[in-house]
Structure formats: structure tokens, C-alpha cells
Amino acid sequence: MTIRLTNSKTREKEVFAPIDPENVRMYVCGPTVYDRAHLGNARPVLVFDVLYRLLRETYGADHVTYVRNFTDVDDRINETARKRKEAGAEGTLEQLIAERSEETIAWYHEDMDALGAMRPDHEPRATAYIGEMIAMIEKLIEQGHAYAAEGHALFSVDSFNEYGALSGRSVDDMIAGARVEVAPYKKNPMDFVLWKPSSDDLPGWDSPWGRGRPGWHIECSAMSEALLGVEFDIHGGGNDLMFPHHENEIAQSCCVNPGTDFAKTWLHNEMLQVEGKKMSKSLGNFFTVHDLLEQGVPGEVIRFVMLSTHYRKPMDWTEKKRAEAEATLRKWRAMTADVAAGAIPEDVIAAVSDDLNTAGALTVLHRLASHGDAAGLKAGAQFIGLLTDELGGWIAPAADLSAWENKLATARETAMQTKDFSQVDALKTMLLDAGVEVRMSKAGVELIAGAGFDAAKLVDVD
């Protein structure tokens, strides 16, 4: 099936044609490992997880390579480690930085696994590719695209005529709209750091410009080239990375390898909101994936909510969406519990192939469920990472609540005659406290055990 993707660089939806169908390659910018992943960090992980699944289905699992890096050398990691040392932690600052990176990477894997995200084929750490970064910087300096100054190496933006093509901004616009670091050693305020000095207590490596560490942008250029080659098919990330990070990656990589395009297709997901507002600590609506998991929100529910909005639209996390997603997944899992998955429905593949329209794919799944096609529902859902065995642990074995349904129905019938609803209210309160969802309609009473169901709390009430 033809795949169409919206290329951020051309601003058009294009037919995806890989450089080599036998070797489809994708690079996605990963996290800086200084703390837990917040909910917004999970969005690109799930967006590109769905794309990875689509590419594997289309070209074969053995013909797709997915790379997502870990930035494990960064000022924020250093600051976190410094605070630990000041609080009395043992070890050198460099040891504490390494410990923090290892700890945070383990957290990241744990949280993203809980969302059903497949691990990439390669997860390179920046610190393992310092030699490649130094070699790339040396070549840029030799070519006249970079220069050394006061222990720094900087990229000369003026040397790359296409700078700004990805974000669609002129250099003057970028200077006006960005927080540009002004430094006396820069020839142009927009020139960005490729290498910078390190103090003795911080991580550092010997280089032609002195002991130091790489700038952020050069890391991804070096790692992607080492693992995917000088040109590859897809580069992705959140749209907050378009400028300056991705713009700078293009400049470095295209200059160091003249005549190449670096990445053919650029994909960027929109940002996440919470209850209609930007997520921020000042608004009190900032939380991590781990926070939600600890609160009892299943990873599969988080995944469902994320996929319910197209990746190029802002994703609004709301309590209503969470509750609706949980209710839908409970129904689907009950419907498909003893059913083998059939063939993946073509309508589901078609939706995902049309610019990763996961919201459209979910619409198809709802239709399959309404038609009673359990085998198609299961196959289509598993194609986008839902209803998998790995994510099913949050569903408790079905509880037999028929006796309580009868009691509540009888109490309601009596109350309709006596106009005394105290018994009904008492039963509902007890059931809700036990983690039971209570549904009453003209058709009767339906009770559904929730994720936190506790049978011990079901006691007769007067």
C-alpha cells in the first residue's frame, strides 16, 4: 500500500519512496537523560513507533532500521549531578553524572515499554561517538564551514546558503525570534557551537581545540551518519526541534557531505496540552509518564489517548479522554479475549499509510467493534500497538457482579414506588468505592469492575 507522509521541508504530503526499499532508515531525536520523561516526551515516541510498525509491515522487519539516540552529555545532566554532590552523594562529579545517565535511561525504557513502544534497532549514546564528532568538526573547519575560537569550535551559518529552509525563516527572523547567545568569539550571532571547553570536574575529551565536550547539534549528525549513512529516508522529532536543532543538523551534515540531502523526509509532531492549556510546572499541570502509571492509569490507555489525535495537531490530554479510552479498551479486550487475530484490515493500514492517520485507524476499529468483527478488531488494534498481550496486564479477571446487579435493580424498582432512594444511593456508593462502574438505564442495571476493583469492599448495606 502506498505510504504518504507530510514532509516538513517541502510542506507537502508526498508519496514515500525510500532510497533503498531493502534498507529503509529512520532517525528520531531521543531524550536528554537528566530526569523522568514527561507526558509530552511520550508523544514522538508513540508517533514514530506507529511509523516504525508501518514500515516493518510494508517493507519487512529485516529491511527497516530505526535509530533513536540518548543525549548523555549535557549541562542539565551536569547540574542534576552537581546538586546530588552538594547534597552529600559519594563519588566524583563525573561518576555522579554517569550514574544519573544510567538511572534515567533505565527509567525511560521502563516508561516507554509500559506504553507499548517497540525498542529501536539502535539507541546510541552521544558519549560513545565523540571520535566521530571530532572528525566531523575537523572536516567542517577544513572546508571553511566552521572555525576555532577561544577553545570553541563554531559552525559558520553564513557558509551555508540554504540555512533556514526547513523552518522557513530568514537568518534575520531567527535572530529576532531566538535567544541567541552573544559571545565575543562569534563571527555571526547565529553561529552555533560544535565544541566547547569543559572544566576539570566535568566530563571532557581531548580535541584539537582543547579539552571539552560537543555541542548538542553535532551529536545527532555524527550518530546518524555512523549508523545510517550520509543520506537516509526519514528524520523525525517534535516540532520544537525544527529550529534550531534540526536546522543545524542539516547545515552540518550537508556541508560535511556536499551534494547529499542528509534526510529525504522530515516529520514533526505537534506539542501536547493538558485540559486545553500548555503543560507547565507553574500551572500545576505538569506530570511525567511515571506519575500517570503510578496513579493507576494503564500504559495502554495513555497510548490510546495519544493516538486519538493526528500527530500534526496539538494533543490535548483530558480526564474525559482518559476515561473514555479506558472504557473503550475494556470493551474491546472483553470482545477479543478468546479470539485469534485475523488479517490486518486494509482500512486500518490505509488510514495509517495516509500520513499516520491514527485517529482514522481508531475510527475503523470502532466500526469493526460495532459490527462484531472481533478478529479484525484485534488484528487492526495490534497493528498500532493496542490489545497486545504485553499491555493487557491492567485488565483484571472478569468479576461476577450479577448478584449485585440484581440487588441494585430490585432496590431501584422499590424506590420508584416508595420514592425513597436511600437504599439505591447506599448501594451505588458502596459499589463505586469498590471500584465498580455503575450504569443504570431503562434497559436495566450494568456493573463493570474497574482497574482498581476491590471485591473485599462489596458488603451488604442496610
**CATH number of domain containing 204:** 3.40.50.620
Please give the Cα distance from 348 to 64 (Å, whole number).
21
Annotated ligand binding at 249? The verdict is yes
Same domain, 265 and 277: no
Beginning with the edge strand found earlier in the chain, give each strand of the sheet holding 272-274 in spatial order: 277-278, 272-274, 315-317
230 within some domain: yes
Q: Give residue for cell 551555508.
A: 160
Helix (H, G, I), strand (E, B) or coil at 451: coil
Same domain, 230 and 282: no
Grid cell of 72 as nine digits: 548523555
Grid cell of 104 as nine digits: 534515567
The separation between CA 317 and the C-alpha centre of its own chain, rounded to angstroms, equals 14
Same domain, 40 and 172: yes
pLDDT, residue 76, reads: 87
Number of domains into which the chain is organized: 3
10 Å CB burial of residue 439 (0-12, 13-18, 19+) is exposed
Same domain, 258 and 276: no
pLDDT, residue 248, reads: 96
The continuous run of DSSP H or E covering 369 comes out as helix 358-370
Same domain, 258 and 279: no
Please answer whether residues 155 and 186 qualify as being in contact, where contact means their C-beta atoms are separated by less than 8 angstroms: no
User: What sections of 202-265 are H helices per DSSP?
Assistant: 216-228, 247-256
Same domain, 254 and 279: no
Q: What is the pLDDT of residues 180-204, one digit of tens each?
A: 667 889 999 899 999 999 988 888 9
Read off the DSSP letter of residue 272: E
Please answer whether residues 145 and 250 qualify as being in contact, where contact means their C-beta atoms are separated by less than 8 angstroms: no
Helix (H, G, I), strand (E, B) or coil at 222: helix
Annotated ligand binding at 29? The verdict is yes
379 within some domain: yes
Please answer whether residues 9 and 266 qualify as being in contact, where contact means their C-beta atoms are separated by less than 8 angstroms: yes
pLDDT, residue 280, reads: 79
pLDDT, residue 254, reads: 98
280 within some domain: yes
pLDDT, residue 398, reads: 65
User: In 3D, which of 369, 381, 379, 389 has the Cα closest to residue 344?
Assistant: 379
pLDDT, residue 201, reads: 81
Task: Return the half-sphere exposure (C-beta side, CA atoms, 13 A cut-off) of residue 387.
Answer: 28
Helix axes 130-143, 247-256, angle to 10 degrees: 70
Could you say which of 269, 302, 318 is where a domain stops? 269
Backbone angles phi, psi at 210, to 5 degrees: 105, 175
Same domain, 153 and 211: yes
Same domain, 450 and 314: no
Same domain, 298 and 315: yes
Could you say which of 246, 269, 292 is where a domain stops? 269
Q: Give residue for cell 448478584.
A: 403
Please answer whether residues 167 and 175 qualify as being in contact, where contact means their C-beta atoms are separated by less than 8 angstroms: no
Same domain, 123 and 246: yes
Annotated ligand binding at 220? The verdict is yes
Same domain, 198 and 305: no
User: What sections of 145-265 are H helices per DSSP?
Assistant: 171-177, 216-228, 247-256
Could you say which of 242, 269, 296 is where a domain stops? 269
pLDDT block averages, 10 residues each, the chain of length 462: 96 98 98 93 97 98 98 88 87 85 96 98 96 98 97 96 89 64 85 93 92 95 98 97 95 97 97 90 86 95 98 96 94 94 97 98 98 97 97 80 92 94 93 89 84 80 66
Annotated ligand binding at 281? The verdict is yes
Please give the Cα distance from 408 to 424 (Å, whole number).
6
Annotated ligand binding at 254? The verdict is no
pLDDT, residue 205, reads: 94
The continuous run of DSSP H or E covering 28 comes out as strand 24-28
User: In 3D, which of 136, 142, 150 has the Cα closest to residue 210?
Assistant: 150
Question: Number of helices (H) and strands (E), helices first, in the chain?
Answer: 15, 15
Given the DSSP bridges, would you call strands 24-28 and 64-68 parallel, antiparallel or unpaired? parallel
Q: What is the pLDDT of residues 220-232, one digit of tens each?
A: 999 999 999 999 9
153 within some domain: yes
Please answer whether residues 404 and 428 qualify as being in contact, where contact means their C-beta atoms are separated by less than 8 angstroms: no
Peptide linkage before 244 cis (omega within 30 of 0): yes
Domain range for 278? 272-391
Backbone angles phi, psi at 314, to 5 degrees: -60, 135
pLDDT, residue 220, reads: 97
Same domain, 366 and 439: no
pLDDT, residue 415, reads: 94
For residue 193, the one-letter residue type is: V
User: In 3D, which of 83, 57, 41 has the Cα closest to residue 1?
Assistant: 57
276 within some domain: yes
Please answer whether residues 314 and 272 qualify as being in contact, where contact means their C-beta atoms are separated by less than 8 angstroms: yes
Please give the Cα distance from 30 to 117 (Å, whole number).
13
User: In 3D, which of 188, 191, 183, 181 has the Cα closest to residue 154?
Assistant: 191
396 within some domain: no
Please give the Cα distance from 245 to 250 (Å, whole number).
9
